[in-house]
């Protein structure tokens, strides 16, 4: 570019720079005037601008104009605007130009400014939305998914949630927001057969599934990964390390980079490092974070009162603690003696610190330890980790939880043979175990005898007091109920969190004695061992529904109730134990204060648990301060967030009322056409005992029953040379012979056929392998026979 050309461009830019329009709006005028199509009356202004600006040497403006000249193709050989638009749209296959000039925002829900801003940002950038629980993250996802559903008529929209109950909940919630036809949506979990999922991927457009299912379908080619245009990640703080969320995003990037990512969470991570991992793993280009005290969120969030109770350890628990510390010192002394453990403060050691010490030992073992001794050291590490887990149970949950844990070790149900042998040799341990056994062996958690109830931890007494006082004060403050009778407080809801199942059962049994004021139900996850029975997905959904409708007014839950699930209106949250992770504490506290004021009670044992809680709260404040203060500068955001709309289009918002129908559960995940439904209605219903009905029995008798006049079947002898000498005329008593052939139906017998509800048995698999071997032998025999003929 010569100097004259630069001057002309600068003169044009200088004329526009004197106006009050924003610079972004003036850029097209630069190219217009540079081509010599200057408007009348602009010459003087240009000359003045040149005199005031160019001669002063403002090179930045000159370079800026030159950049725009290169980008816009102002040179004579540059592409035209129409060809540029064609190239832009060709880079986005499947985009519907007729609907791309606008995006839809629903007015059938109250307009909230922060939700509108987050949706608008998520349309054009990979966005991490961080909102307190109950403020409408699912609404934002539903609006985004609907607009990509419009923009890409042949594309696939995916919503991933970590658990199956959450998947079932979110598909219904999204339908109620935007009303995407249920015939276009599908819910898929691990229970959906792989062959059926492959068909669903071809026929549906919007998918709600777990990340493991998504990963499996991408890896085996069932999911058309290149067609995925929008990916929503719920509970995005889990996207760390090698989590299935991270694997899905990596696999999608191997097929296409043109897809939008929306990540949803109530808290992005436990620390700044974890937040950065989430941002990097999910390719986040923009952060949309709101806290409860954010200005645009305050009108929609209700106050939550947090009350903390520091409960001192009782004399009984302190006595057991003293014996337990002697046991810990006996076994940690071994590791200290050989230098495998450096910290001598046995009472303040944690299980996590011992695990870190073991990892360090494996990387750099001390020089004085020979390879033959390393096995013994590894065993001592495992023993100490198990014992410190029991120590945490004692301090946080109580003596009963410790007793159940130790009992599982000694009876072999936990499979810790070496730990059992070592503990049985320790006299102090046996003394302590005998004391626990005397207290709890005859008063298990399942006992209904009130006299046998033993408070294994002082926190249980405080918990009982808080729950009973809440319902009594609620009944008093609300006055008579709707039927005119005395208020009983049952229209209030209380949720109690405890990390261990034994503690959950103990709390439930303790509160059961206060019926009918307190109607308690436990809420746990799937079974995790041979001797533990959990709740299935169906049972979990049923418990939540019953709790929302008032069947129970107290729900005692493990961590399965912390994240995502729609528990309903909860007035009081009680945290029976403190979690070091701020994520879990925030998730627990988010269960209340959604539509009315709520209260949170945290029960803390004096000492270690109190310090853990204070550390968690400090971490939470630090994370939100970092993100809200200067989040875009504190973290490295993804720089190549794709533009899913052609560059020459700037979609405008169109607010409209969306009419949604009644959601039909499981309708979209079942194969039910009109023809199929008619044929099902014609058939008689199955008997409750699972046996055949009269119609089915008649059909079986007519088509499949063997007639009595048929003789005993035998195999054909011709294909098998080893039975050549046996008589060929084996007459039956009735004079008839039925010859069976193994090779006649080998086409269907040498491989497994597809199944629907019932899979193949082991005997069937063995038979298939035998038939396959026979088929190969037959082929070899034919080949040998042909070879002999040729010879």
DSSP string for residues in 487-551: --STTS-EEEE-SSHHHHHHHHHHHHTTTTT--EEEE--S--BTTB----HHHHHHHHHHHHHTS
How far is Cα 285 from Cα 289, in angstroms, rounded to an integer?
A: 13
Tokens of 781: 């025999």
pLDDT at 746: 66
Q: Comparing 454-463, 570-579, 702-711, which segment has the lowest mean pLDDT?
A: 702-711
CA atoms within 13 A on the CB side of 753: 6
DSSP, residue by residue, 722-744? GGTTS-S----TTS--EEE-SST
pLDDT band at 675 (very low <50, low <70, confident <90, very high): very low
Tokens of 638: 């993804």
Judge whether residue 433 has pLDDT over 70: yes
Average pLDDT rounded to a whole number, residues 119-142: 90
Average pLDDT rounded to a whole number, residues 153-180: 88
pLDDT band at 252 (very low <50, low <70, confident <90, very high): very high
For the ranges 28-32, 291-295, 407-411, the one whose mean pLDDT is highest: 407-411
The DSSP code for 239 is -
Judge whether residue 260 has pLDDT over 90: yes
pLDDT at 335: 84
Q: Is the peptide bond before 516 cis (omega within 30 degrees of 0)?
A: yes
The DSSP code for 717 is S
The number of helix segments (H) and strand segments (E) in the chain equals 27, 17
For 205, other C-beta atoms within 10 Å of its C-beta total 21
C-alpha dihedral sign at 86, 91, 94, 97: negative
pLDDT band at 365 (very low <50, low <70, confident <90, very high): confident
How far is Cα 191 from Cα 537, in angstroms, rounded to an integer?
A: 11
Q: Torsion angle of alpha carbons 509, 514, 518, 520, nearest 10°?
A: 10
pLDDT at 7: 38
Tokens of 325: 């510390």
Judge whether residue 37 has pLDDT over 50: no
Q: What value does the mean pLDDT of the chain take?
A: 75
How far is Cα 747 from Cα 233, in angstroms, rounded to an integer?
A: 46
How far is Cα 667 from Cα 644, in angstroms, rounded to an integer?
A: 31
Tokens of 383: 């023993």
pLDDT at 451: 47
Q: For 47-69, how does the pLDDT look when each residue is reduced to its tens digit (9 = 90+)?
A: 444 434 334 444 555 444 444 54
How far is Cα 264 from Cα 568, in angstroms, rounded to an integer?
A: 20
Judge whether residue 556 has pLDDT over 80: yes
3-state secondary structure of 106: strand
Q: For 383-427, how does the pLDDT look when each residue is reduced to its tens digit (9 = 90+)?
A: 888 898 888 888 888 888 888 888 888 887 777 788 888 888 888
3-state secondary structure of 788: helix
How far is Cα 20 from Cα 559, in angstroms, rounded to an integer?
A: 57
Which H helix or E strand runs over 574? strand 572-575
Judge whether residue 248 has pLDDT over 60: yes
Average pLDDT rounded to a whole number, residues 168-184: 87
Q: Torsion angle of alpha carbons 554, 558, 563, 565, nearest 10°?
A: -50
The structure's pTM equals 0.64
Judge whether residue 143 has pLDDT over 90: yes
For the ranges 373-377, 479-483, 580-584, 694-698, the one whose mean pLDDT is highest: 373-377
* Residues 159/210, Cβ–Cβ less than 8 Å: no
How far is Cα 213 from Cα 128, in angstroms, rounded to an integer?
A: 23
**∠252-255-260 over CA atoms, to 5°?**
50
pLDDT at 207: 93
How far is Cα 638 from Cα 653, in angstroms, rounded to an integer?
A: 26
How far is Cα 191 from Cα 439, in angstroms, rounded to an integer?
A: 44
Cα distances from 489 to residues 188, 203, 479, 482, in angstroms, run 40, 50, 9, 12
735: left (phi over 0), alpha (psi -120 to 50) or beta: left
* Residues 476/517, Cβ–Cβ less than 8 Å: no
* Residues 750/775, Cβ–Cβ less than 8 Å: yes
């Amino acid at each position: 570019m010569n100097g004259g050309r630069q001057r002309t461009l600068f003169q044009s830019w200088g004329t526009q720079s004197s106006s009050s329009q924003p610079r972004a709006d003036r850029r097209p005028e630069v190219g217009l005037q540079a081509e010599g199509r200057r408007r009348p009356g602009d010459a003087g202004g240009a000359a003045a601008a040149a005199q005031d600006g160019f001669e002063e040497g403002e090179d930045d403006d000159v370079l800026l104009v030159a950049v725009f000249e290169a980008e816009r193709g102002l040179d004579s050989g540059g592409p035209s605007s129409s060809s540029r638009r064609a190239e832009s749209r060709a880079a986005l296959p499947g985009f519907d130009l007729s609907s791309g000039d606008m995006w839809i925002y629903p007015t059938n829900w109250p307009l909230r400014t922060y939700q509108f801003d987050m949706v608008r940002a998520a349309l054009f950038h990979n966005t991490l939305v961080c909102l307190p629980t109950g403020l409408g993250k699912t609404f934002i996802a539903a609006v985004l998914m609907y607009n990509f559903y419009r923009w890409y008529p042949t594309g696939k929209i995916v919503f991933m949630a970590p658990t199956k109950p959450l998947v079932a909940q979110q598909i219904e919630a999204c339908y109620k927001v935007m009303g995407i036809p249920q015939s276009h949506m599908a819910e898929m979990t691990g229970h959906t057969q792989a062959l059926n999922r492959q068909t669903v991927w071809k026929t549906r457009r919007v998918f709600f599934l777990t990340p493991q299912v998504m990963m499996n379908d991408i890896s085996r080619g069932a999911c058309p990964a290149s067609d995925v245009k929008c990916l929503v990640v719920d509970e995005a703080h889990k996207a760390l390390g090698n989590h299935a969320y991270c694997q899905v995003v990596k696999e999608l990037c191997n097929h296409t980079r043109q897809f939008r990512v929306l990540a949803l969470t109530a808290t992005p991570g436990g620390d700044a490092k974890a937040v950065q991992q989430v941002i990097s793993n999910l390719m986040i280009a923009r952060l949309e974070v709101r806290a409860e005290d954010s200005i645009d969120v305050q009108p929609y969030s209700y106050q939550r009162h947090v009350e903390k109770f520091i409960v001192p350890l009782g004399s009984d628990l302190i006595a057991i603690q003293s014996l337990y510390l002697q046991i810990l010192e006996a076994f940690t002394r071994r590791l200290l003696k050989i230098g495998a453990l450096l910290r001598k403060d046995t009472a303040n050691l944690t299980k996590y610190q011992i695990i870190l010490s073991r990892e360090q030992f494996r990387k750099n073992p001390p020089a004085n330890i020979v390879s033959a001794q390393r096995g013994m050291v590894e065993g001592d590490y495992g023993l100490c980790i198990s014992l410190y887990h029991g120590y945490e149970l004692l301090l946080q949950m109580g003596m009963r939880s410790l007793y159940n844990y130790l009992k599982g070790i000694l009876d072999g149900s936990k499979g810790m043979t070496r730990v059992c042998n070592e503990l049985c040799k320790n006299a102090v341990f046996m003394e302590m175990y005998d004391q626990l056994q005397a207290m709890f062996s005859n008063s298990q958690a399942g006992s209904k005898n009130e006299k046998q109830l033993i408070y294994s931890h002082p926190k249980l007494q405080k918990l009982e007091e808080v729950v009973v006082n809440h319902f009594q004060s609620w009944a008093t403050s609300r006055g008579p109920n709707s039927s005119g009778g005395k208020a009983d407080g049952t229209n209030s809801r209380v949720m109690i969190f405890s990390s261990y199942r034994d503690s959950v059962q103990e709390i439930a049994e303790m509160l059961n004695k206060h019926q009918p004021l307190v109607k308690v139900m436990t809420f746990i996850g799937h079974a995790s061992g041979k001797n533990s029975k959990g709740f299935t997905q169906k049972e979990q959904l049923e418990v939540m529904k019953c709790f929302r409708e008032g069947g129970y007014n107290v729900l005692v839950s493990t961590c399965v109730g912390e994240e995502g699930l729609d528990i309903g209106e909860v007035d009081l949250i009680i945290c029976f134990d403190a979690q070091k992770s701020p994520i879990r504490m925030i998730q627990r506290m988010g269960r209340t204060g959604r539509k009315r004021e709520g209260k949170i009670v945290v029960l803390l044992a004096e000492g270690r648990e109190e310090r853990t809680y204070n550390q968690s709260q400090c971490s939470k404040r630090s994370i939100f301060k970092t993100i809200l203060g200067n989040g875009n500068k504190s973290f490295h955001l993804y720089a190549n967030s794709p533009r899913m709309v052609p560059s020459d289009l700037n979609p405008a918002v169109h607010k409209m009322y969306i009419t949604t129908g009644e959601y039909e559960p499981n309708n979209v995940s079942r194969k039910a056409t009109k023809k199929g439904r008619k044929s099902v209605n014609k058939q008689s219903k199955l008997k409750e005992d699972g046996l055949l009905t009269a119609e089915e029995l008649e059909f079986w008798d007519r088509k499949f029953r063997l007639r009595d006049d048929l003789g005993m079947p035998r195999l054909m002898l011709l294909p098998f040379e080893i039975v050549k000498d046996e008589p060929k005329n084996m007459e039956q008593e009735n004079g008839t012979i039925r010859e069976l052939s193994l090779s006649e139906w080998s086409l269907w017998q040498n491989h497994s056929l597809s199944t629907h509800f019932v899979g193949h048995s082991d005997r069937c698999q063995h038979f298939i392998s035998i038939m396959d071997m026979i088929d190969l032998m037959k082929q070899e025999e034919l080949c040998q026979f042909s070879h002999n003929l040729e010879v």
